[in-house]
Structure formats: C-alpha cells, structure tokens
Structure 1
Amino acid sequence: MKTFAATPRVRTAAFTMVEIALCLAIVGFALVAIIGVLPAGLNVQKENREETIINQDATLILNALRGSDRGNDELTNLFERITVTRTLFLPPNYVNSQPLPTIVGEVGRANGALVDLTEPANIIGLLSTPRYQPSERGLISNHVVAFVRAASGAATEKVTRDNPVRDMTFGYRLISEVTPPNLTDYFQQYTNDVGSAFARNLHDVRLVFAWPLIPPLDRNLGMPTNFGNARLIFRTQVGGAMGAFPVPSRTDDDMFFFYLNPDGNGRHL
C-alpha cells in the first residue's frame, strides 16, 4: 500500500480590500492636487512665453527706430495699423484744444488709410512721430498707437497675409512716445548753446506694449483691438536730430526720422 506525504499548505499574502481602498484614496488625492496645479503652471508658461516675445520684439523695434532703418522689410509683415491721433492746444494757456485730422497707416492703404505700411520707411516715420510738436498755431499733441503681429515666436505662426493661420498668431498693441528731454535748466551752468544742442540732438523713446489682444475680431484690421492687462514699458535715449518729411498725399502733415547731425544744428521739435 502506497502512502503519500501530505503537502503543507502555502499561505499567499495579498492586499485586503481596505488597503486597496486606502491606496486609491491616496492616489486620487495626489491626482486632484496635480490637476489643480496644472492650469496655473500652463498659465505661467504662457505668460513667460509672451513676455519673452515682447522683450525680443522691443529690441527689434527700438533698434529700427534708433537707426531709422527704412529698409527693414521685416517690419512690413508685422504692423497691421498705425494711428496718429493729433490734437492742437491753443495759446496762450494751452487749455483749449481742437482735434486735427488723424493719420492712419495700413497695409496697401486699406480702408481709406493715408499711408501704406508695405513701405518700411512709412512705418518708421509714423512710429517716430514726436509726442509734442510745436506749431505756428500752438502745440500739437500726437498719440501714436500701432497693432502689431509678433516678430518672435513659433515658426508656424510666421505665414503670409492671406493664410488664415495668421488670425491666430500672437499680437499686441504698441504705443510709441518720442520726446526731447528738457535739459535747459540742467545745462544752465554752461551756455544756452549747449543746452539747446542737447535738446535738438537727444530724444527719449518710450514704447508701451499691451497684450493679449481680446476678441471680437476687427474685420477691417484682421485682428482684435481690445487688449488685456499685461503691460511692459521700454525706454531708451536716441542721439540725433529729428527730421520731418511730408506724409504722402498730405502736405500739411509730417513723418519723422532720426538722423546724425554732427554740427548740432537740427530742427527742434
């Protein structure tokens, strides 16, 4: 008669349902925390990207203004509209004012614009318009506003004007202010000629960027004109006199450019 040895029972360890439930609760809590932080992280990344683009574009535009870069064709792909709103303040107290005709520049002189922005010289000339401009009738205040497509950023956004993808590219509003510093009092210890030369040949340039552009879309412009709360301001000083040239088709209005003036004699604006 054969006998068989009894096989000992092997006990297998496993998680209980309570332990599994606790693990799922811990994992779920962690996932909720991660999902809650994810939108904030994406928003910070988006803001950093936009600020980087603005910083790079500011360098490009400031250098173009400083050097009166009239042959920079890249600018014609960026600027959609430039508007110079002009107001005349009347003497003797310069409190009373009256509006002057607005100068508008658009690509191809669309929508009845006076200036064609397919010429880079026209873009520089409008952006360099001085904030305050003496006139025989009083003092003219100029407010220069431009709507711009970003020059920096993803290569997929750099498309031709007829490509519908262009409507989704990053853009911003730009305000350009050019003012001559008042250095007469500072240089009074020297001579009036020194202060006058500095006033004619040194200008403050201030660029104010505002973004993001918020719908609805301006059908004539091809991009929104409302903007968000993000702001960056860039300032620099430009050496050189300010030259004035007539706006095409408008003999009463001027566009402006910086130019080198070694003898110190320039048109003081």
Structure 2
Amino acid sequence: MKRLKKMLCMVMALVMILTVVNVSDVNATAKPKINKKKVTIRVGNTYQLKVKNYKGKVKWYSDSGKIVSISKKGKIKAKKVGKATVYAQSKNFLLWCDVKIKKKKSSITNTYNTVSKKQETETEQETEQETTVSVEPQLNIELPSVPQKCYIYSQYSIGTTTYTKINWDGTITNARIEKTYRESDNCFLVELYISGTKISGFNDSISIGWKLYDENKNVVDSGSIITPAISAGESFVDSSTFIGSVKPGNYKLVLQSNRKYN
C-alpha cells in the first residue's frame, strides 16, 4: 500500500512539473501588448496602463502633456478635455493607447442634469456611429521587387591600384510592411520586415539600408535593418524596424542593397 501511494505521489509531481513547463513555454512566445488600446476618462481621474507579457524596462510618454500626463509606471492622469495618445516604448516594441478626456462629472443631480446626461449619451452614440462608417485615409507604399542581391564592400589601395573587397553578400527574398492608422494625429505607424539568405561572409549580423520617398521623389525617412548574427548559407526571417509616423499618401520604399563599408 505504501509503495502504491509513493508511486501516485511521483506521478502527480511529474504532471505538475510538465504543466509548469508548458505554461512557461506559452508565456515565452506571447508578444508584449498593452492592457487597453482605447480609454475614456474624466478630468481629474486616473487610469493604470500596463504592458502584458513583458518584464523589461518600459518608457512611457504622452504626445500632449497638457491633456494627459503619465507617470514612469504607466499611470495616466486626465488634466484637460481633449484627445491624446500615450506610448509605451522599449528597444523591442512601440505600443500606444488613445485617450479621450471628458468634462468632470457634476456632483449635483437634478432633472436638468439627467436630461443633459441623456442628450450627451445620445450624442456620443451618434458620434461613435459616424466614426464607424467614416472612411480611413489611405497609405500606399510601393515595396522593392524581390529577390534582390545585396552586399557591403570595402575598398583599399596598393600604390595606384584600388581594390574592392566584398565583406558579405546575400539575397533579399521578401519585403513587407505592417501599418496601423492612428486617428489622433492622422498618421500611420509603419513597421518594415525583411527576410533573406546570407551567401558569404563571417558569422555576423547584416545591415540593410532603406529610404522612403514621397510622390515628389523627396526622401521623407531613412534608416537600416540589422539582422541577427548569421553564417554563410543561413537565412533570416522578418528582421524588422519602425519606419515611424507616416502621413496618408503614396510612397516608394527603396533598399540600399549595395553599400560601401566605412
């Protein structure tokens, strides 16, 4: 009997360990997200924002400190009637919450306030209905054609002869974007994703430059994507970077696939 009890205890302990491991694996793959993407509060009130599935350092800030203030721990305070956007940023992500501030609620309750509140509610419902059927502005970004060769080279001279050395080369196999419209400032938050394969070079990361042009062929933004360290023959998938806030319109994205190493 004692031996049977001992075996049952061992089985139960094993089941508990496997359960904890499975839960840990699920949490490890969960993406960081903010606990509220839209919130409406009244002047003088507060609301606590949090970033779920992330334990690292987060920087909180507001695009309108006169309307909404936010503490280092993500607590927002309504200061003035209006709209604002609050951001949570780390080196790995950028999250945001649209905040609407309403007038401070009166402490006096009478027939007039009851009627006014009813009218206010009906007005808000009408506004929400209008917002629902409104047409979202358009953002069109022409992406570079793939596959596309890419390499970084350096040059050196011996006497009067200049030599070119390829530090690494590879192939870009896919380029895509994800965009989210932000009504508060009529902008799109755009993230660029690049996939490809490294053909030659040492075990190191790859730097791929990019430029964003408007309809008048003016550069409106530029930067680079840094991939994880990979060896020759290895591939990278969806290395990403934020392009930033882009106004509605038509644009063209160009990859600086052939660059000189300084």
Structure 1 and Structure 2 fold alike (TM over 0.5): no
Higher strand share: 2
Instruction: Output the TM-score relative to the length of structure 1.
Output: 0.27
For the pair shown, the structure with the greater C-alpha radius of gyration is 1
Q: Which structure is richer in relative contact order (CA contacts within 8 A, separation 6 or more)? A: 1
